[in-house]
Amino acid sequence: MNKKSEQDIYVAPNNPSPSRPVIIDGDTCIGCNQCVEVCPRDIFMPSSVKGEPPQVVFSEECWYDGSCVFICPVEGAIKLHFPLMWRVPWKRKETGDYFWVNKNDEKNPK
Ligand code: SF4
């Protein structure tokens, strides 16, 4: 082991994971790392390059609370990517409207 490899630490995105809880738009993200700071589960790591988007390293730990999206100063730079099972709506026969079960809405059936 050479001296350089003993000193350098690298972080890489967790690509093999099937979970992708957030999507960061690399073109609009300014790399402010506010999402990194606010995340209650610490799923992000800041980029080693100043101004570059953070990396999602611990995607399975995400709670989907949306704090990263809420705090981001650039609209559309980061968005939640809910698991497929959470994205399937029900459709009303009468109206054709889509709705989600268990959402706090008086229109939804109990
Ligand atoms: S808060 Fe938004 S702009 Fe800042 S690093 Fe995160 S995604 Fe990029």
DSSP state of 49: S
Whether the CB of 43 sits within 6 Å of ligand 1:
no
Report the C-alpha gap between 46 and 18 in whole angstroms.
21
At residue 30, the pLDDT reads 98
Whether the CB of 69 sits within 6 Å of ligand 1:
no
Q: What is the pLDDT of residues 43-62, one digit of tens each?
A: 999 998 999 999 999 998 99
pLDDT of 4 higher than 70 = no
The domain made up of 14-82 has a fold known as: Alpha-Beta Plaits (3.30.70)
Pocket mutation for ligand 1, best pick of 23, 25, 34 (most atoms within 8 Å of C-beta): 34
Radius of gyration in angstroms for the set of CA atoms belonging to the chain, rounded to a whole number? 19
Q: What is the pLDDT of residues 17-51, one digit of tens each?
A: 678 899 999 999 999 999 999 999 999 999 989 99
Whether the CB of 21 sits within 6 Å of ligand 1:
no
Whether the CB of 57 sits within 6 Å of ligand 1:
no
CA distances from 31 to 37, 46, 47, 76 (A): 12, 8, 8, 13
Q: What is the pLDDT of residues 57-106, one digit of tens each?
A: 999 899 999 999 999 999 999 999 988 888 888 889 999 988 877 655 55
Element (H, E) at 24: strand 22-24
At residue 76, the pLDDT reads 94
For the record, the structure tokens of 64 come out as 């989907």
Q: What share of the chain is helix, strand, coil (3-state, %, to 5)?
A: 20, 15, 65
